[in-house]
Amino acid sequence: MNETGMTTVDTPNWTERSAIVTGAASGIGAAVAAKLAARGVAVTAATLRAGEGGEGVVKQIIADGGRAQLAFGDVSDESAVAGIFSAATESFGPPDIVVHAAGGLTSIAATAQLEPAEWDRMVAINLRSAFLVIHAALPGMIERGWGRVVTVASEAGRMPTRVGSSAYAAAKSGVIGLTKHVAREIAAHGVTVNATAPSTTLSPRIQALYPDGGAAVGAQHPMGRLAEPDEQAAAILFLCSPEASYVNGACLDVTGGSVNI
């Protein structure tokens, strides 16, 4: 209790925390890793494989005085997820914060032309991976009585979008549903589980996916531009923070007005 008689929220030092960020080679994941590290969190930046850009992310964090390491693995594979968590725990202790930013839209096709194998692939890298990462994170967080899990969904999981894929939309809708259900399950344990739903964000993947680098998509956005990774990371950072202690089961739209439902 403080002097006014109101209950205060425990605000632990960020430097006492460790984090795993998946999809940390570039884009939103890389921005989240950098922002967490800048606040003193020891970060394990998880990427699919070497040579994707994660090395540069970690090198910059260390150059800026932060603590970080790389871990590699396909987060749609259970054994790979276990390996990432093991590497993080060995170096920095069990993760207090887990941000699952891995996944993405790998192809654009109408449902009638969508191959079942591609459906399976997008569900695996977006939804199955989210389950596996959450499944690995929760036992330790529950035991310690504190934790932050943030999944990165998409505006496509909130409403139909002009360009996209039914597989991606279904997977990201599933991520939101998974997040909300788990949040209710573990609410009494001091662990929060939340999601963000970004609109299209300027990243190397998006620039490669669209012939014009996403310029036309950005021009049709309510704000006239695409989001920057740092703008998405700022919202995620709040959900990871001690100040978000009573935010649980939320899906925060970070879309610049494109989602208004």
48 Cβ contact partners less than 8 Å away, ≥ 6 residues apart: 25, 72, 73, 74, 75, 102
Domains defined along the chain, listed by start: 15-195+233-254 (3.40.50.720)
For the segment 166-208, what is each residue's pLDDT rounded down to a tens digit? 889 999 999 999 999 999 999 999 999 999 999 888 777 777 7
List 14, 85, 92, 168, catalytic entry: 168
Residue type (1 letter), 155: E
Q: DSSP string covering the chain, please? A: --TTSPPPPP---GGG-EEEEESTTSHHHHHHHHHHHHTT-EEEEEESSTTSSHHHHHHHHHHTT--EEEEE--TTSHHHHHHHHHHHHHHH-S-SEEEE--------B-GGG--HHHHHHHHIIIIIHHHHHHHHHHHHHHHHT-EEEEEE--GGGTS--SS-BHHHHHHHHHHHHHHHHHHHHTGGGTEEEEEEEE--B--HHHHHHSTTTTHHHHHTSTTSSPBPHHHHHHHHHHHHSGGGTT--S-EEEESTTS---
For the segment 79-111, what is each residue's pLDDT rounded down to a tens digit? 999 999 999 999 999 999 999 999 987 777 787
Tell me the pTM: 0.90
| Known active-site residue 168 | yes
pLDDT of residue 163: 61
Confidence of residue 211 (pLDDT cuts 50, 70, 90): low
Residue type (1 letter), 118: E
